[in-house]
Structure 1
Amino acid sequence: MAEHRRLQRAALLDAARVLLTEGGMEALTFPALAARTGLARSSVYEYFRSRAHVVEQLCEADFPLWAAEIEAGMAARDGAPSRLEAYVRGQLELAGDPRHRAIVALSALELDEAARARIRAAHEGLVGLVVEALDELGHQRPQLVAALLQGVVEAAVKRSEGRSSEERALIADAAVALALHGLAGSATPVTSAAAVAAAECSGSNRA
């Protein structure tokens, strides 16, 4: 019986990933999960209390994989600035990967405080990856700066939703520049002024 429930739960989570990939949060409904798995709708409630609970369970399964990919990308770089760039770009690339749609979908959900606490703990583990690089750069409070940097990444992820590949690349460049050079900018811009202007114009049109 326990193995049967484990397999059923895994099938429901796989179905949830497909639904999120195909249609986002709007597509993730209990009737749709039931139809995908051949279960009765009432049976779905035996495994999950709500849509938020489904996404929470997906994140519990998928977030360690996300963090491992980011860590591997950072480990392949030399020097603190390069590792910071890998941290930012890696998350933005993964956010655009349908396999990780559940993690991105969290921002659209109203979760209870217990769920939020678990998600915060997972994010703290991810933020911990960049603290060492920030310490190498001489930041007096690397933990605080790492948390703020994660906020920049999450804002860039949200800004990238529904954008073209070219627009997403510009957003990633801007996020990296902000992470490495702050609001003062860099003497060596990541992108041309014309490209940035085009992205800002596009953003204004979408607003």
Structure 2
Amino acid sequence: MPRINAPTVAEHRAAQQRALLDAARTLLARTGEAPSMAEVAALAGLARPSAYQYYKSRQDLLHALVLDVFPRWTRRVREAMDAEPEPADRIMAYVLTNIALVAEGEHAVGNALAAVAPGEELDNQSAMMHRQLLTPLVETLTLLGVEDPAVTAELINAIVHSSTRLLESGTGRESVEARVRELIGPYVRENAVGQKA
């Protein structure tokens, strides 16, 4: 029987699954290729047969990784927006948090998953994440009284996509963030003033 390193079996199992997901994510970000179960198990500090107690196959592990990566991204953006007391400042938080996640390699993991995970599942998760990401932005823009919040949210998201391309082509994060502040800053300030008026 394997040694339990947590107060309960359920907590031990959750910790082992988290270790395997984190190892798979690290290897995927490093190589851009689907890692073998042996590679994932080794990085997680488990024997290869133990990894199969948590995920039946490499495909099963990748599927779990898809279901893990996107919600974590969405949660981090929402938390950053929720931390801002002023609605206008939530717009900047939305953009800068997305840029931070790209700079930290999360987008590379998503791209690598797109190359190795099942297309339909990834497409569904990606579409759901896009909707979940835009929801708090649209809500904030609605609160600010923006005329067409859905269109404005898509335009703000276009800045995020352009920033992603710049980061991935080698432009430094500080430079990208500075240009974004120049572009979005006046819009945020204008809406902050409009809200207080």
Indicate if the aligned counterparts of 2:66 and 2:125 stay in contact, CA closer than 8 A. Answer: no
Match of 1:48 among 58, 67, 74: 58
> CA shift at 1:128, angstroms?
0.6
Identical positions, percent = 25
**Equivalent position SS for 1:29:** coil
Amino acid at match of 2:75: A
* Of 8-17 and 87-96, the range deviating more from structure 2: 8-17
> In structure 1, what is the Cα distance between the partners aligned to 2:143 and 2:86?
9
Indicate if the aligned counterparts of 2:80 and 2:93 stay in contact, CA closer than 8 A. Answer: yes
Superimposed CA distance per residue, residues 16-74 of structure 1 (whole angstroms, 9 cap, x where no aligned partner): 133245x2424x4215225434316x959823328xx62x5324224333333322322
1:48–1:179 CA distance, 2 compared to 1 (3 A) = farther
Indicate if the aligned counterparts of 1:74 and 1:84 stay in contact, CA closer than 8 A. Answer: yes
Q: Does 1:18 align with 2:26?
A: yes
Per the alignment, residue 121 of structure 1 pairs with: 128
Matches within 5 A, 1:83-102: 83-97=90-104, 101=106
> CA shift at 1:87, angstroms?
0.9
> CA shift at 1:116, angstroms?
0.7
Higher relative contact order (CA 8 A, sep 6+): 2
Superimposed CA distance per residue, residues 74-127 of structure 1 (whole angstroms, 9 cap, x where no aligned partner): 2332444321111111221233336xx3x5422342351232112211221111
TM-score between the two structures when normalised by the length of structure 1: 0.63
Amino acid at match of 1:15: A
Indicate if the aligned counterparts of 1:63 and 1:122 stay in contact, CA closer than 8 A. Answer: yes
1:57–1:162 CA distance, 2 compared to 1 (3 A) = farther
Q: Which structure 1 segments of 5+ residues have no match?
A: 187-207
> In structure 1, what is the Cα distance between the partners aligned to 2:83 and 2:149?
21
For the aligned residue pairs, the C-alpha RMSD in angstroms reads: 3.6
Q: Which structure 2 segments of 5+ residues have no match?
A: 1-8, 190-197
> In structure 2, what is the Cα distance between the partners aligned to 1:155 and 1:79?
26
1:57–1:149 CA distance, 2 compared to 1 (3 A) = farther
1:158–1:59 CA distance, 2 compared to 1 (3 A) = farther
Q: Does 1:170 align with 2:178?
A: no
Matched residues, number:
172
**Equivalent position SS for 1:46:** coil
Amino acid at match of 2:27: L
Matches within 5 A, 1:101-140: 101=106, 103-108=107-112, 109-110=114-115, 111-140=118-147
> In structure 2, what is the Cα distance between the partners aligned to 1:6 and 1:137?
41
> In structure 2, what is the Cα distance between the partners aligned to 1:141 and 1:107?
31
Q: Does 1:29 align with 2:38?
A: no
Indicate if the aligned counterparts of 1:160 and 1:168 stay in contact, CA closer than 8 A. Answer: yes
> In structure 2, what is the Cα distance between the partners aligned to 1:163 and 1:150?
20
> In structure 2, what is the Cα distance between the partners aligned to 1:90 and 1:70?
6
TM-score between the two structures when normalised by the length of structure 2: 0.65
